[in-house]
Structure 1
Amino acid sequence: MRGALIGCGFFAQNHLNAWRDMRAEGIELVAVCDIDPVKAKAAADTFGVPRHYTDPQTLFESEQLDFVDIATRMETHHDLVCLAVRHGVRTIVQKPFASDWQQCVSMVETARAARVPLAVHENFRFQAPMQAVREVLASGAIGAPTWGRFAFRTGFDVYKTQPYFHQDKKLAILDVGIHVLDLARVFLGEVRHLSCETQQRNPRNVGEDTATMLLRHTSGAVSLVECTYEARQIPDSFPQTLVTIEGETGSIKVHEDFRMVVTSGNEVSERSIGSPLLPWTQAPWHVAQESVLLTQRAIIAAWRAGREAETSGADNLNTYALVDAAYAAAESGRAVAPEVWRGETIAVASVRR
């Protein structure tokens, strides 16, 4: 499969490394694109990509692509996704999906009408620790989950590499809370309604840097979802999401040291569920970095099998709807039911390359 990457900034370096790791799996990154010609050329030179561009239109007109990976700021996603879909190119787009719900729906419906697969790079659910939790839940060891806590709390200086965070009117929920909300719905099911309290603890921030959300799932389960960039805890668990899930017959608890403790009936077991260090990853980022590779592999595998990706655009609408509901709940002081998309998913032709 021949692919291209649009956006060669800070986090895109992980995408580039991951695509390079997938060369042995039949993936060839043939072009990169960035509005900054220096970044585009540097990415091409560093990762051995044959061609680089500064204009996405020129990229699509010049290359024969099986897929494109869009790793730009969310304000550009709608136009870039629609451009890729018009050229019939399978598309992966970084989260957040878009700036608002209507743009998200527009992209999903545009891709559906054109029968072009669209996936969102929602990578937290593919982190090695979260995959381990999913395995335990699937085994039935704790019975049906009834309660959960999902917490991403850090004081790590995320502003150093992403200084624009200070100016974002929507910060913690839209940037990292979206990941944690996604985990809550993956583990406990879709959400009936949620309430939310936000805080602005850093005076330099325009938007909220802390959010505490309470979710009632359609299954009857209840979960607490927390996210903050202003925690003051030692040790700092960055960039881990700490998880506790209680079920009918047991529980799962993920600790800061990557220990997962499982209680099943009267039996207790524990094991390490951390991510391995790859040649291009480094602690403490390695958990998030490896998940980029695992996410890309999962999306490509689904497309090759003729399926929509697990993190399809349609699936991500259910996560994005929770983000919108959280902001509405924080503003109103009331529980809010998330939007529901009534469209249909698309049939995906298998990749023959």
Structure 2
Amino acid sequence: MLRGGLIGCGFFAANHLHAWADVPGAEIVALADRNPARLAEAQARFGIGRTYTDAAGMLRAERLDFVDIATTVASHRPLVELAAGAGVHVICQKPFAPSLADARSMVAAADAAGRVLMVHENFRWQSAIRAAAAKLAAGAIGAPFWGRVSFRSGFDVYSGQPYLATDPRFIVQDLGIHILDVARFLFGDVVRLSATTRRVNPRIRGEDVATGLLVHDSGVTSVVDCSYATRRAREAFPETLLEIDGADGTLRLDAGYRLTIENSSRSPRARRVSAAAALGRAAVAQHPRERARDPAPLRRLPRQRPHAGNVRRRQPRDPRPRRSRLCLGRCRRRERRPARARLISTRPALCRPAGGDRPRSSGRWHGRALMSRGGDS
């Protein structure tokens, strides 16, 4: 059994601890955080007996195989170098480092100690992204030549992480890192990149919209776009959407995580399948939204008839709602009632999605996605 220590008991620590509890062959045996209140809360919630207010003290007192660093970016380099010097393997939260020089120093410290250094990147382990990658690897659309990886939302991320509104750099280092990693996962490393950024929300300091054009070593050209300023009738958070064109067809991962594959060389029909079904239901830990919408494992679009002119056309459906004789009077009484105004919120917010405040996402799911497949924020 591998013994690990968690450094940092802040916003994302619960996700990490939930995930480690589900990983066979590893356990978190100690916690470290400079804030005694957060430390006590995590200890009580997860039943971890040994706690420290100093990471160096934890490394000296415990016999650890690895540490999980879940702190903010400014502390990453000293903590990674401290853990590598203690001879333990390191998993470090993203963003990995504030500068390229710091990142290279962290890698050099781990190499000198002969220890593994990993970065938390969990989007590539989501079931929908893995399903799309599996289809590409199987040649479902032939050799891909163009792709788009998109994350556009108006979700209020500032309420849970208020520092995001004050950082001089925002969406690229917070969300864009994930989207860029998905593009690398699907198409290979990047050899050329250009990008534009923009701040739309006047109440924040950094950029909240970014669009990049990438050329990969595989020859694929991709567009990576992310936004926390997009207002949509249907909020897509936290879904990453895909469009990929190949030599023989197209692949689309649409809202609701619906995976659609069209292959002209194999069949004139499009195959539409949920992302979970493409991988197998038992093999993945799905988001609650994905479980709720998961249909039958495979559905095919209906074949168009060759002689449509000989087919009797259906009459257009009456748009008015159908009423039975029993409910007719009751429905008419409802129609006469004046419509009630709905109060969404009177609280000031840095960002409010259209349609009101969105429920908090499940920390347990995010944590399981983080660690169950080998690899937030």
TM-score after normalising by structure 2: 0.75
Q: 1:262 Cα shift?
A: 1.1
Q: 1:131 Cα shift?
A: 0.9
Q: Which amino acid aligns with 1:20?
A: A
Q: Deviations over 1:55-99 (max 9, x none)?
A: 001010010101111110011000001111001111101111011
- Alignment match, 1:273: 275
Q: Is the 8 A contact 2:16 2:370 kept in 1?
A: no
Q: 1:153 Cα shift?
A: 0.6
- Alignment match, 2:368: 293
What does residue range 70-81 of structure 1 map to in structure 2 within 5 Å?
Answer: 70-81=69-80
Q: Which amino acid aligns with 1:220?
A: G
Q: Which amino acid aligns with 1:134?
A: A
Q: Is the 8 A contact 2:172 2:210 kept in 1?
A: yes
- How far apart, CA to CA, are the structure 1 residues paired with 2:269 and 2:80? 49
- Alignment match, 2:19: 18
Per the alignment, in what secondary structure is the counterpart of residue 142 of structure 1?
A: coil
What does residue range 108-147 of structure 1 map to in structure 2 within 5 Å?
Answer: 108-147=107-146
Per the alignment, in what secondary structure is the counterpart of residue 95 of structure 1?
A: coil
What does residue range 229-240 of structure 1 map to in structure 2 within 5 Å?
Answer: 229-240=228-239
- How far apart, CA to CA, are the structure 2 residues paired with 1:43 and 1:180? 30
Q: Deviations over 1:114-165 (max 9, x none)?
A: 1101111110100111111111111111112110111111100000001111
Structure 1 residue runs of 5 or longer lacking an equivalent are 300-310, 312-353
What does residue range 219-234 of structure 1 map to in structure 2 within 5 Å?
Answer: 219-234=218-233
Deviates more, 1:185-194 or 1:75-84: 185-194
The structure 1 segments of at least 4 consecutive aligned residues displaced by more than 4 Å after TM superposition are none
Per the alignment, in what secondary structure is the counterpart of residue 201 of structure 2?
A: coil
CA gap 1:156/1:245 in 2 versus in 1, 3 angstroms:
same
Per the alignment, in what secondary structure is the counterpart of residue 235 of structure 2?
A: coil
Q: Is the 8 A contact 1:239 1:284 kept in 2?
A: no
Structure 2 residue runs of 5 or longer lacking an equivalent are 277-285, 290-357
- How far apart, CA to CA, are the structure 1 residues paired with 2:192 and 2:129? 24
CA gap 1:119/1:257 in 2 versus in 1, 3 angstroms:
same
Q: 1:170 Cα shift?
A: 0.9
- Alignment match, 1:321: none
- Alignment match, 2:96: 97
Per the alignment, in what secondary structure is the counterpart of residue 206 of structure 1?
A: coil
- Alignment match, 1:158: 157
- Alignment match, 2:176: 177
- How far apart, CA to CA, are the structure 2 residues paired with 1:241 and 1:182? 12
Q: Is the 8 A contact 1:155 1:236 kept in 2?
A: yes
Q: Is the 8 A contact 2:241 2:253 kept in 1?
A: yes
TM-score after normalising by structure 1: 0.80
- Alignment match, 1:306: none
- Alignment match, 1:54: 53
- How far apart, CA to CA, are the structure 2 residues paired with 1:173 and 1:216? 18
Q: How many residues align?
A: 294
CA gap 1:57/1:192 in 2 versus in 1, 3 angstroms:
same
Q: Which amino acid aligns with 2:14?
A: Q
Q: 1:284 Cα shift?
A: 7.0
Q: Which amino acid aligns with 1:122?
A: E
- How far apart, CA to CA, are the structure 2 residues paired with 1:101 and 1:14? 28
Q: Which amino acid aligns with 2:57?
A: T
- Alignment match, 1:66: 65
Per the alignment, in what secondary structure is the counterpart of residue 261 of structure 1?
A: strand
- How far apart, CA to CA, are the structure 1 residues paired with 2:365 and 2:244? 24
- Alignment match, 1:8: 9
- Alignment match, 1:326: none
- Alignment match, 1:39: 38
Q: 1:283 Cα shift?
A: 7.4
Q: 1:218 Cα shift?
A: 2.3
- How far apart, CA to CA, are the structure 2 residues paired with 1:32 and 1:252? 43
Q: Which amino acid aligns with 1:54?
A: T
Q: 1:291 Cα shift?
A: 5.1
Q: Is the 8 A contact 2:241 2:257 kept in 1?
A: no
Q: 1:220 Cα shift?
A: 2.1
Q: Is the 8 A contact 2:210 2:226 kept in 1?
A: yes
- Alignment match, 1:249: 248
- How far apart, CA to CA, are the structure 2 residues paired with 1:164 and 1:146? 39
Per the alignment, in what secondary structure is the counterpart of residue 262 of structure 1?
A: strand
Question: Percent identity of the aligned residues?
Answer: 44
- How far apart, CA to CA, are the structure 1 residues paired with 2:112 and 2:97? 19
What does residue range 295-334 of structure 1 map to in structure 2 within 5 Å?
Answer: 295-299=370-374
Q: Is the 8 A contact 2:14 2:367 kept in 1?
A: no
